[in-house]
Structure 1
Amino acid sequence: MPFPTLQIGDLVARVPIIQGGMGVGISLSRLASAVANEGGIGVIAGAMIGMKEPDVAKNPIEANLRALRREIEKAHEATKGIVGVNIMVALTTFSEMVRTSIESRADIIFSGAGLPLDLPRHLHDACEQKKEEFRTKLVPIVSSARAASVIAKKWLSRFDYLPDAFVVEGPKAGGHLGFKPEEIDDPGHSLEHVVPEVIEAVKPFEDAKGRAVPVIAAGGVYSGDDIRRFIEMGAAGVQMGTRFVATHECDADERFKQAYVAAREEDVTIIKSPVGMPGRAIGNGFIEAMREGAKKPFKCVFKCISTCEQEQTPYCIAAALINAMKGNLEKGFAFSGSNVFRIDSILSVRDLIGSLQREFEEAVARRMVLQGS
């Protein structure tokens, strides 16, 4: 059995895999277009996307918007496939980034790290002011059925707009997590537990509007068999981030990718991020120094995250992630999912998706044999 397609509104991906939007600078146009060319949904991460612009410290808003427009344009030039953008609600430039993505004709906006309660307003305003129709799909990233219900109710009551899909991100994801520290290892908050709850919570809204709202499973999805499990559970597809870092097309420095290859299971750790959320990363000397108090409060240049307490936090999350993306891991660290230790080589995006397809088909075949016996 081949992969089922993933349909979000009038967009149809022949591979039911969304490449997670990974900042800072880990997933840009090169990776996103490569994934889209293989039939999946490629995603550009908006967080500090203007990091290489010469005026990013003096004019961070203009620099980030300029870089965002350019990366979306480059991705569209490189593929006829589906290209999305990931924009965190916690970004101080959230509204401007959303509007720029819509006007640059991103196919989908994925939005988490907070509840994107106003997201449809930006689509409506862009259509009104530009006097044209923009068809960008809006997909919130949630970690609970309650969050999905709150967003759906708000969007319907305020904008008569039902989310085009939901990404459900579990506690095994890399980067910032939508869970309290004590919830991360709680089976009641596992992806396997939350996905069916979100599917059930979304059903009344689907019935009321007469259309499907796909639910996509994310966070710790590693193999073709994992994809099979979540699709059998009712998910329309999966989102994967960590696997796509270990590809030739990933936009990060080679040293960042090699940190994934070298990671052991015991290296994966949970940090307290300046953003105010727990985060999963590969432990290193920078993280150890931060925990031991060797890092001190700093003068903020970027003002990139609205929830960052610059006066109290011992390091700049943007600077640390920019350093890591450039391969300078002694001055930063790499976020990763919980399964990073299973990676042992760098592949092409084509080979990765091909291997996931074969694993999926083999897992389905095994399942059918077991059911037949």
Structure 2
Amino acid sequence: MIIQGGMGAGVSDWRLANAVSRQGQLGVVSGTALDTILVRRLQDGDPDGDMRRAMARFPIPEVTERILDRYYQPAGRPAGTPYTLLPLYRAELGVEREQLLMLASFVEVYLAREGHSGMVGINLLTKIQLPNLATLYGAMLAGVDAVLMGAGIPREFPAALDALAEHRPAVAAFDVEGAPNAEISQVHFDPTQHWATLPAPLGRPFFLPIIASNSLATMMARKASGRIDGFIIEGPTAGGHNAPPRGATQLNDRGEPIYGPRDAVDLAKIAELGLPFWLAGGMGSPEGLRQALESGAAGIQVGTLFAFCDEAGHTPEFKSSILSAAMRDAVDVKTDPRASPTGFPFKVVDWDANPADWEARIRICDLGYLRSAYYAEGQVRFRCPAAPIDGYVSKGGKVEETEGRKCLCNALMANVGLAQLQANGTPEPPLITSGDDLRQIATFLNGRTHYSAADVITYLLDGVAEHAQGECAAVAPEVL
């Protein structure tokens, strides 16, 4: 009944997913920027040995050896030393970069599945197109049970999962502005390039697209490239990237997009599609779960409560500071239409002890996950409105598109204790995201200063046991 949200890079990490799955619910790891996260953990010394333990189980050992040789620092980085960066993505990923992506997602899923028999999922952003196929293949090598995808229209990924399960080449969309032909507008991934002898077929995970409209649900159910196993229906109160409002965007007096009746999802029409669905955004309470079940949903996806629990990847300092602020009613969540380079509205947390100083940050684009591609002078190039303004404009971007943009790539690393040091020695600032529910989290805390993932699940399931038993009793014994 509960799907743990696939929050920002490294927040829904393997520890959190493992803890949720041990409780019989669906734990989910974030698949965003896992290659950078792995190599930074190695550069910090992998003090508990978790990365190396999982890497030792990766079925292509020469890849593990190469990555350890290149990035592992047993004593960690010397103080004041920046992380060694990975090269920025190019339009065609080389074999070695694909293998790093495969290894990184394998490690995260392997650790999330370790020590229990529960289900584990991985969450990917459709918008970050180049790494997705290799990331999925690595996760499938580790036995991932479910794939969740939002921030775009992932219509080609059901067929990609079918192909990857059989180690066949897979194709996904690659949005290139001005591309002269369809071939340029595709990402290709061929598993056979990575094996001397192909292993046995892999399990094909369930596929759950994250949608925010009836039209998208209908299109995915009827026109996607393969099997859809259900939907996660996400409302505009959910954390991270939100779908933009339908129609012309209007802003309230706080500068936030205004959502109206056209943005509401008709759950009765969703139910007519005949697939299970889960509700996300503002549902993280026993009442929310009961309402979801009564509406015909299979359950809920919950992000905010899990994002600040003991096992979540946010640094302990940020978690304790934000929870303390919430107890004092000194925390706010704003839907910022400008912060994300993607153009999607993005939820941003502010609190009275927020250390981020974005005005002082020197613009730089050295991770590049959210860059957009365009075609010029016979080749695919990249630009990002959060990069240095002169460079963005020289690449054909409009200066007004840079206003208010923030480097989410570096901020998300800072959120989980992997902040890069800029050239002047200043660490990258954080940018915490959360759903609107954070404003009411003090009620759940009830005086506590911290809590576990198990506490969240116990709280959410309170009062729904009878409903769940009734639902099970109504299912035919042969189906059970």
TM, length-normalised to structure 1: 0.80
Post-superposition CA distance 1:98-136 (Å, at most 9, x none):
222223221000000101011012222223335525231
Which residue identity is paired with 2:429?
K
Return the alpha-carbon distance in structure 2 between the equivalents of residues 288 and 362 of structure 1.
Answer: 46
Report the alpha carbon displacement of residue 163 of structure 1 after superposing the two structures with TM. 0.9
Alignment of 1:206-217 (within 5 A): 206=274, 213-217=275-279
Could you say what secondary structure the match of 1:258 adopts? helix
Q: Which residue of 2 aligns with 1:69?
A: 106
Work out the percentage of aligned pairs sharing the same amino acid: 28
Alignment of 1:1-373 (within 5 A): 16-50=1-35, 51-53=37-39, 54=43, 57-59=85-87, 61=97, 62-91=99-128, 92-129=130-167, 132-155=201-224, 159=225, 161-180=226-245, 182=250, 184-188=257-261, 193-194=264-265, 197-201=266-270, 203=272, 205-206=273-274, 213-261=275-323, 262-263=325-326, 264=329, 267-271=332-336, 272=338, 273-283=340-350, 290=358, 294-295=360-361, 297-298=363-364, 300-307=365-372, 308-309=384-385, 310=387, 311=392, 313=402, 314-326=405-417, 331-344=429-442, 345-360=449-464
Could you say what secondary structure the match of 1:347 adopts? coil
Which stretches of structure 1, 4 residues or longer, exceed 3 Å deviation after superposition?
59-65, 180-185, 263-266, 284-290, 293-297, 306-310, 312-315, 327-330, 359-364
Could you say what secondary structure the match of 1:179 adopts? coil
Return the alpha-carbon distance in structure 2 between the equivalents of residues 88 and 103 of structure 1.
Answer: 20
Return the alpha-carbon distance in structure 1 between the equivalents of residues 236 and 466 of structure 2.
Answer: 27
Which residue identity is paired with 1:301?
D
Q: Which residue of 1 aligns with 2:58?
A: none
**CA pair 38-133 structure 1, distance change in 2 beyond 3 A:** same
Report the alpha carbon displacement of residue 173 of structure 1 after superposing the two structures with TM. 0.4
Return the alpha-carbon distance in structure 2 between the equivalents of residues 360 and 140 of structure 1.
Answer: 26
Return the alpha-carbon distance in structure 1 between the equivalents of residues 165 and 334 of structure 2.
Answer: 44
Which residue identity is paired with 1:178?
A
The answer to whether the Cα contact below 8 Å between 2:368 and 2:409 also exists between their aligned partners in 1 is no
Return the alpha-carbon distance in structure 1 between the equivalents of residues 38 and 138 of structure 2.
Answer: 19
The answer to whether the Cα contact below 8 Å between 1:223 and 1:359 also exists between their aligned partners in 2 is no
The answer to whether the Cα contact below 8 Å between 1:45 and 1:87 also exists between their aligned partners in 2 is yes
Which residue identity is paired with 1:170?
G
Post-superposition CA distance 1:260-295 (Å, at most 9, x none):
3124476211222112111112125879854xx655
Report the alpha carbon displacement of residue 254 of structure 1 after superposing the two structures with TM. 0.7
Report the alpha carbon displacement of residue 46 of structure 1 after superposing the two structures with TM. 0.7
Larger Rg: 2
**CA pair 97-244 structure 1, distance change in 2 beyond 3 A:** same
The answer to whether the Cα contact below 8 Å between 2:414 and 2:430 also exists between their aligned partners in 1 is yes
Count of residue correspondences: 331
Return the alpha-carbon distance in structure 1 between the equivalents of residues 235 and 330 of structure 2.
Answer: 18
Post-superposition CA distance 1:204-250 (Å, at most 9, x none):
x43xxxxxx11110011121011101111111110000001222121
The answer to whether the Cα contact below 8 Å between 2:14 and 2:112 also exists between their aligned partners in 1 is yes
Q: Which residue of 2 aligns with 1:12?
A: none
The answer to whether the Cα contact below 8 Å between 1:126 and 1:134 also exists between their aligned partners in 2 is no
The answer to whether the Cα contact below 8 Å between 1:218 and 1:239 also exists between their aligned partners in 2 is yes
Report the alpha carbon displacement of residue 327 of structure 1 after superposing the two structures with TM. 8.6
**CA pair 327-102 structure 1, distance change in 2 beyond 3 A:** closer
Return the alpha-carbon distance in structure 2 between the equivalents of residues 224 and 337 of structure 1.
Answer: 17
Report the more deviating stretch, 115-124 or 16-25.
115-124
**Which structure shows the bigger proportion of residues in helix conformation?**
1
TM, length-normalised to structure 2: 0.63
Return the alpha-carbon distance in structure 2 between the equivalents of residues 303 and 114 of structure 1.
Answer: 18
**CA pair 230-363 structure 1, distance change in 2 beyond 3 A:** same
Return the alpha-carbon distance in structure 1 between the equivalents of residues 371 and 463 of structure 2.
Answer: 41
Return the alpha-carbon distance in structure 1 between the equivalents of residues 362 and 313 of structure 2.
Answer: 30
**CA pair 182-171 structure 1, distance change in 2 beyond 3 A:** farther
Could you say what secondary structure the match of 1:139 adopts? strand
Could you say what secondary structure the match of 1:335 adopts? coil
Return the alpha-carbon distance in structure 1 between the equivalents of residues 406 and 278 of structure 2.
Answer: 33
**CA pair 230-185 structure 1, distance change in 2 beyond 3 A:** farther
The answer to whether the Cα contact below 8 Å between 2:140 and 2:165 also exists between their aligned partners in 1 is no
Could you say what secondary structure the match of 1:257 adopts? helix
Report the alpha carbon displacement of residue 19 of structure 1 after superposing the two structures with TM. 0.3
Return the alpha-carbon distance in structure 2 between the equivalents of residues 248 and 266 of structure 1.
Answer: 19
Could you say what secondary structure the match of 2:9 adopts? coil
Return the alpha-carbon distance in structure 1 between the equivalents of residues 410 and 157 of structure 2.
Answer: 28
The answer to whether the Cα contact below 8 Å between 2:322 and 2:331 also exists between their aligned partners in 1 is no
Which residue identity is paired with 1:236?
A
